Amino acid sequence: MALPLTTRARAKVNLDLRVLGRRVDGYHELESLVAFAGVGDTLSLDPGAGLSLTLAGPRAQGLAVDDGNLVLRAARALAAARPDLRLGRFHLVKRLPVASGIGGGSADAAATLRLLARLNGIGPADPLLREVAASVGADVPVCLDSRARLMAGIGEKLGPVLRLPPLFAVLVNPGVGVETVAVFRALGLKAGEAASEARAATVAAPASAAKLLDDLQSTTNDLAAPARRVAPIIGEVLERLAALPGCRLARMSGSGATCFALFDDCTASAAAAKTLASERPSWWVRATLLR
């Protein structure tokens, strides 16, 4: 019997996020420098007849195995595009918080497409994967490779892969799910309204972590203020992260509520995570490496 295929679904972290405006069709144009963490979910695929999904892990409670599940949606979307697609039984070990701004569901969907591509001999650069990924969700295309890059548009425009220097980080989620729709509603842009200009088309990776940290000081997450209105606890998380010894930058990822703090080295980030986890045992706290 063949062993199941397995892959990691790593957390996506928006190092910055700019809202360029709202299109006339209602979608928001974004621009974000994205990195990926060393923490994530695990997805496996046991090839066989039909399509099914089982769930396990500390964050599986509350997830449904229904038509809204992104693993099943991604599998069915690819199967619709490739009628001869081999499927099977998926098993998801859920470790990332749900509706948390770090692309957990999108990473799971992208992992689904990677596993099905491996099973069916579809090359990782096949345009079909990117096309299907974009149809499933805005963050799914960038999660396909799970490598640092600039993403823009509604997630479909991806810059070249960037070799970012490793960043020592602490990720924190206070246990509050935040709906992206509610955050954009609180942002309050009207259809056709512009917000800010796009950055230069070419973004070079800084040569050092120190330079990257300095560069990030001049950027922001435009969704942080509306997200704090939707979930005020985000403000508490950011304030506590900023006060941790050695914190160089504290910021929210995506539309929240997960926030992150960046440090100069792993000793400082590990100590900060230990301190915060003891102070807030109900919060999800993880020291990790972003790259």
Q: Which residues are catalytic?
A: 12, 139
Q: How far apart are CA 70 and CA 4, in angstroms?
A: 20
Strand 167-173 and strand 249-252: pairing? unpaired
Q: Find out whether 37 and 10 touch, Cβ atoms under 8 Å.
A: yes
DSSP secondary structure, 4-71, as one string: PEEEEEEEEEES-BEEEEE-TTSPEEEEEEEEEEEEEEEEEEEEESSEEEEEESTT-TT---STT-HH
Q: Where are the alpha helices (DSSP H) in 54-194?
A: 70-81, 104-120, 127-136, 140-145, 180-187
Q: Find out whether 184 and 255 touch, Cβ atoms under 8 Å.
A: yes
